[in-house]
Amino acid sequence: MTALLTLLVPIIPFVLYRACTNYECSITPLLLQSLEGWTLRDLLQSVPLPTASAWAGFVIFVALELLLYCLLPGQHTVGLPTPTGNALVYKTNALSATLATIALLFTGSYGLNLFPATFVYDNYGPLITVGTISGFVLAFLVYIKGRFYPTNRDTTVHGRFFYDFWMGIELNPRIGDFDIKMFTIGRIGMISWAVVILSHAAKQYELYGQLSNSMALLLVLQLVYIIDWAWREAWYTQTLDIMHDHFGFFMAYGSTCWVPSVYTSQAWFLVHHPIHFSPIELAFILAVNLLGYTLFRLTNDQKITFRESEGQALIWGKPAKAIEAVYKTADGQERRNLLLASGFWGLSRHFNYLCDLLITASFCMCGGFTHILPWTYQAMMMWLLLNRAQRDDKRCRRKYGKAWEQYCRDVPYSIVPGIY
């Protein structure tokens, strides 16, 4: 399965790219044509070659992010103990790095005329190829590092090449204090997302002399999401991505290619199809976003407050319903955690994922309802979060045993209350 995913998933951004460049962003005619005798060879021949400009753009971007990471001041956040009891320290300065990148982009393009603001859009095909190659190379390097030079004992080798390659061997591969996973996700993935949508907006402006209100709204919603993520980088060190998911192809490629190409597909679509929404339509999309965002923050904050207060926090004005869960660390020590079974965490076990899906839906709505392409991001997020919820349930059941089963009995729904 992971072998198939490693080979097939990287095709998707190219399919979306080809749909936009050759079929006015319609996926159906492209798929129909492929049914009429398209071969893998045809597909490979349609992959844009990685040009020198695309490589230069990518390498300069990564070098800039490395420089900003090292030079900009940042707090030092101590992560939660890993399964083998390591408490890793993270330098958290993603917010200033994100803002500095955006400022440099504006100064370099509009202020100093060093490069066109539309550079990413103009080189998009070759950049997808560069991102794909970089994802494979990075995943291969961390695979070798995990096999032969692991950072610490938070390492798992299953012995099946594609599984280890996709899932990753090391939990937190590091070179000295430099955390490869945190940098790749937070700087390459998240900041390139901002860079790509800004460049697409610049292209729309260049082509039509104005920004459509759909593109303007998309920019605001996605930039707020990215900047808010950067602002809460310290919180991110406590999420599944950092605490439990090992760093392999899934995350490496996800950051170098998937996020900057699939998460940005609405911006891409809007360059070709600028939509002008009515005030009511704009208000509706904004309302969906605000609802999703507010619930997303409230749900995540409820868990943080509950755990920080050791179960003493009031949840919706009432004492929290807590389940005591005992577990053993890898070195055999017995520890205790509390599971919250009221508030949002009493509605479903992953209510925060539902909120994320609402936010994603608001992004996709900016691309309208006439084409599938802007909604591919929603489909991918549904798959990602469903899969994540199942993996998390499995892990928590293994970790907490009877306490988790009790929680599942008290809160039977995984994501959507009353439905799933």
Binding interface with ligand NDP (CB under 6 A): 239-240, 296, 300, 303, 337, 339-340, 345, 349-350, 352-353, 356, 388, 392, 396
Min dist. Cβ of residue 347 to ligand NDP (A): 11
Query: DSSP assignment of 222-278, as one string?
Result: HHHHHHHHHHTHHHHTTSHHHHT---SHHHHHIIIIIHHHHTTHHHHHHHHS-----
Q: Closest CB to ligand NDP among 164 and 245? A: 245
Cα–Cα distances (Å) from 266 to 156, 196, 329, 373, 377, in that order, read 37, 11, 44, 8, 9
Query: DSSP assignment of 364-407, as one string?
Result: HHTT-SS-SGGGHHHHHHHHHHHHHHHHHHHHHHHHHTHHHHHH
Q: Closest CB to ligand NDP among 58 and 363? A: 363
Min dist. Cβ of residue 37 to ligand NDP (A): 36
The token pair at 271 is: 């360059």
DSSP 8-state symbol, 296: H
Question: In 3-state terms, what secondary structure has residue 318?
Answer: strand
Closest residue to ligand NDP, based on beta-carbon distance: 239
Min dist. Cβ of residue 5 to ligand NDP (A): 17
In terms of DSSP H, where are the helices of 309-350?
344-347
Q: Closest CB to ligand NDP among 281 and 410? A: 410
Contact 269, 367 (CB under 8 A): yes
Q: Closest CB to ligand NDP among 233 and 356? A: 356
Min dist. Cβ of residue 293 to ligand NDP (A): 11
Min dist. Cβ of residue 306 to ligand NDP (A): 6
Q: Closest CB to ligand NDP among 145 and 350? A: 350
Among 418, 342, 410, 348, smallest CA distance to 385 is for 348
Q: Closest CB to ligand NDP among 110 and 231? A: 231
Q: Closest CB to ligand NDP among 272 and 321? A: 321
Min dist. Cβ of residue 269 to ligand NDP (A): 19
Min dist. Cβ of residue 390 to ligand NDP (A): 12
Task: For the chain, state the CA radius of gyration.
Answer: 22
Min dist. Cβ of residue 116 to ligand NDP (A): 29
Within 10 angstroms of residue 300's Cβ, the number of other Cβ atoms is 19
Contact 403, 340 (CB under 8 A): no
Longest pairwise C-alpha distance within the chain: 65
Q: Closest CB to ligand NDP among 229 and 268? A: 229
Residue recorded with tokens 């997303």: 296
